[in-house]
């Protein structure tokens, strides 16, 4: 890997700082302000008419810090993939601002994006589909290496070094993707991302398709690489059990909106948003007796249609704590102690004193109200 001279402090330093003060550790690598992605729904045989929009990402704001791992969780269809595809500009945003290392890239042209895209790489859920089946590993890795400016006579040595860094051997160089196991293929996907010497890797459910034991190996590898190459990660997963150990902070999404943003440990110990509790309740516990005995919060029904999302709090149609205000006023994103944010009128696990000390976050959606949260009796 080439040594980038302007790289800031290492991930260990930032991780320690961000765990204690997640809003303040490290400098901002990526800033996202009021990001919206609406997909037009078309109908018509001769002339396409727009008959509605899918609200895939709807007024989302957050900051990713250098060296940080930000987990993103939520049910299928809540907008996780759309969010990260938009951050690397594979999907065009409808509104809002994306800044990478201080530079506004929201409307950057293809040409302007080229050098920036090299610093942001994606790793996909299905390594089989994301690797070209007609290319040998050798070719898959040498193309991005050359993009990085590695001389032709150095490419083979660098390719071998990359392979060894992700736990594969030199004899794998001449194989095609279908000649590997799922875990090995994901290692190749990671090696391909590393080849351009990125600062940020966006991982879209990188281990969901793998066996549990292989998941742990790939996650360990990602953690080692983060320390070695001073990487930041945005790590998308369906459920909270996967992101628990890798994330410094976690974002919980529901129907395109942020429900909760919290330091990872605190989210598990003290979830403030009822939806987060429901996601935690869905994590299976290995001991069947303990699993049966625990009280799971009730969340009934399917998520509403993202073409016509509910007014007020998007979660109110399924929330066991909902009251009248929830159906009428969108809750602001409120910042509690320790940089823990939640968008809920009736937060859990917080005292009246903690609510009194909390403030409206700058990340609150523009359409949200200013009602202060209240503890339910
Ligand atoms: N290109 C598109 N055109 C229209 N709608 C889209 C498009 N891509 C995604 N959507 C819709 O946007 C919403 C968010 O989709 P997205 O793939 O981001 O969800 P997700 O959280 O990644 O789900 P999963 O966990 O299943 O991967 C869904 O309702 C989806 O149907
Ligand atoms: S705002 Fe109301 S409906 Fe939404 S999560 Fe909180 S209590 Fe439930
Ligand atoms: Mg997805």
Whether 287 has a pLDDT exceeding 80, the answer reads: no
**188 and 44 in a common domain:** yes
In this prediction, residue 291 carries a pLDDT of 67
Which of 40, 51, 81 maximizes ligand 1 atoms within 8 Å of its Cβ, making it the mutation to test the pocket?
Answer: 81
**318 and 234 in a common domain:** no
In this prediction, residue 11 carries a pLDDT of 27
Q: Are 239 and 58 in contact (CB under 8 A)?
A: no
Nearest CA to ligand 2 atom 6: 344
Residue 201 CB-half CA count within 13 A: 23
- Ligand 1 pocket (Cβ < 6 Å) reads 39, 54, 56, 74, 76-82, 238, 306
Find out whether the beta carbon of 254 lies less than 6 Å from any atom of ligand 2.
no
∠ CA 345-321-79, nearest 5°, is: 70
Q: For the chain, how many helices (H) and strands (E)?
A: 14, 13
**217 and 105 in a common domain:** yes
In a domain, 265, yes or no: no
Binned at pLDDT 50, 70 and 90, residue 296 comes out as: low
How many angstroms separate the alpha carbon of residue 62 from the centre of ligand 2? 21
How many angstroms separate the alpha carbon of residue 76 from the centre of ligand 3? 7
How many angstroms separate the alpha carbon of residue 300 from the centre of ligand 2? 14
Sorted by sequence, the CB contacts under 8 Å of residue 377 that are 6+ apart come out as none
Q: Are 159 and 138 in contact (CB under 8 A)?
A: yes
Tally of domains within the chain: 2
- Model confidence over 213-257: pLDDT tens digits? 899 999 999 999 999 999 999 999 987 888 988 999 999 999 999
- Model confidence over 91-118: pLDDT tens digits? 999 999 999 999 999 999 999 999 999 9
The span from the CA of 325 to the CA of 317, in Å, is 12
Q: Domain limits at 350?
A: 275-360
Nearest CA to ligand 2 atom 3: 316
Q: Worst-scoring range by mean pLDDT, 37-41, 162-166, 222-226, 278-282?
A: 278-282
| pTM of the model as a whole | 0.90
- Model confidence over 15-72: pLDDT tens digits? 333 333 344 457 999 999 999 999 999 887 777 888 899 999 999 999 999 999 999 9
Binned at pLDDT 50, 70 and 90, residue 3 comes out as: very low
What is the distance, to the nearest Å, from the Cα of residue 161 to the centroid of all Cα atoms in its chain?
29
**338 and 253 in a common domain:** no
Q: Give the pLDDT mean for 114-129.
A: 90
The span from the CA of 88 to the CA of 118, in Å, is 10
Nearest CA to ligand 1 atom 6: 39
Average pLDDT, whole number, for the chain? 89
**146 and 202 in a common domain:** yes
Q: Give the pLDDT mean for 267-293.
A: 85
């Amino acid at each position: 890997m080439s040594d980038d001279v302007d790289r800031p402090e290492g991930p260990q330093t930032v991780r320690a700082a961000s765990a204690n003060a997640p809003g303040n550790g490290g400098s901002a690598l990526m800033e996202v302000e009021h990001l919206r992605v609406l997909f037009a729904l078309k109908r018509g045989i001769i002339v396409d008419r727009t008959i509605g929009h899918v609200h895939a990402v709807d007024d989302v704001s957050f900051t990713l810090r250098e060296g940080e791992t930000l987990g993103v969780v939520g049910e299928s269809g809540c907008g996780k993939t759309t969010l990260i595809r938009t951050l690397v500009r594979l999907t065009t945003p409808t509104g809002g601002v994306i800044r990478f290392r201080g530079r506004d890239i929201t409307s950057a042209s293809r040409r302007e994006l080229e050098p920036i895209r090299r610093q942001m790489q994606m790793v996909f859920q299905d390594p089989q589909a994301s690797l070209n089946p007609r290319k040998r590993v050798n070719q898959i890795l040498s193309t991005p290496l050359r993009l990085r400016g590695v001389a032709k006579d150095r490419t083979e040595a660098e390719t071998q070094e990359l392979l060894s860094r992700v736990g594969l051997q030199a004899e794998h160089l001449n194989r095609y993707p279908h000649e590997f196991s799922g875990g090995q293929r994901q290692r190749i996907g990671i090696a391909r991302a590393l080849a351009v010497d990125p600062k940020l890797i966006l991982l879209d459910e990188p281990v969901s398709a793998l066996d549990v034991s292989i998941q742990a190996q790939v996650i360990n590898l990602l953690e080692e690489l983060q320390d070695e190459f001073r990487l930041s990660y945005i790590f998308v997963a369906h459920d909270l059990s996967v992101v628990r150990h890798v994330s410094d902070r976690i974002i919980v999404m529901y129907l395109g909106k942020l429900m909760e943003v919290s330091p990872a440990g605190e989210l598990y110990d003290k979830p403030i948003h009822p939806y987060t509790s429901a996601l935690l309740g869905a994590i299976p516990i290995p001991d069947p007796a303990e699993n049966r005995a625990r009280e799971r919060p009730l969340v009934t029904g399917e998520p509403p249609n993202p073409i016509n999302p509910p007014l007020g709090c998007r979660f109110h149609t399924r929330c066991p704590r909902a009251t009248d205000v929830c159906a009428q006023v969108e809750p602001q994103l409120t910042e509690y102690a320790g940089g823990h944010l939640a968008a809920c009128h009736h937060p859990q696990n917080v005292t009246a004193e903690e609510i009194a000390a909390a403030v409206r976050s700058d990340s609150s959606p523009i359409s949200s109200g200013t009602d202060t949260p209240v503890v339910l009796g």
